[in-house]
Amino acid sequence: QCRVCRRAGTKLYLKGDRCFTPKCAIVKRNYAPGVHGAKKGGRPARLTPYAIQLKEKQKAKFYYGVSEKQFRNYFEKASSKVGNTSEFMLTMLETRLDSTVYRLGWAWSRRDARQIVSHGEILVNGRKLNIPSYQVRVGDVLTVHPTRMKNKHFTEVLPGLDKHTVPEWLHGEKGTFQGKVLSLPVRPDDTGAIFDMKPIIEFYSR
């Protein structure tokens, strides 16, 4: 996972809290992995338009932890709608159930959130859902299954909920595992995206 961040040239926050410490690979070795990555001096390679598009696509794909097939499906669904394809695609990625759980601060990373959801530990409107790709909707209420509250993971996460910053499109009750979807994220500011959607749309529109 650290190699993925080094290849992307930026933090993708794949390892949770570790990404905010000096142990982060980007802090320790801020160059591409491999025998040629550590070469110093000289000018960085000039990327072609295709390489720029591919790099942004890979960055977004790993950021949300989805497969190539899933990512392309999101593009096709977004492009079939009338309006801004970039916004539609970003909204669908961000409102995945695993991503929403991560945004609420209930998991250290999206990978952890995906595992939590897959194990049936999250309730949506009182109903257990174990599908990480489920799209949450405005008004949905998310909670942790009552029988899982005392699991080691949740007891470790709970103290940090008071300090966790929840995005404006979500509401999280301080000190509890209860959240609600207030609106849909449509702008990069709503999602904290560290990639540019325009080259990604251009990549799939070729």
**Locus of tokens 């509890």:** 176
Three-state DSSP at 127 gives strand
**Locus of tokens 């982060």:** 24
- 17 pLDDT more than 90: no
pTM: 0.79
The pLDDT, as a whole number, for residue 41 is 42
9 Cα distance to chain centroid: 17
- 54 pLDDT more than 70: yes
Q: Which residue has the higher pLDDT, 146 or 10?
A: 146
Closest CA to 170 of 148, 185, 151: 185
Q: What angle do CA 167, 13, 47 make, to 5 degrees?
A: 110
Residue-wise pLDDT for 115-171, tens only, equals 999 999 999 999 999 999 999 999 999 999 999 988 898 998 888 888 888 889 999
| Burial zone of 188 (CB within 10 Å; 0-12 exposed, 13-18 middle, 19+ buried) | middle
Q: Which residue has the higher pLDDT, 186 or 70?
A: 70
Read off the amino acid at residue 101.
Answer: V
Q: What are phi and psi of 193, to 5 degrees?
A: -60, 135
Interatomic CA distance for residues 10 and 12, integer angstroms: 6
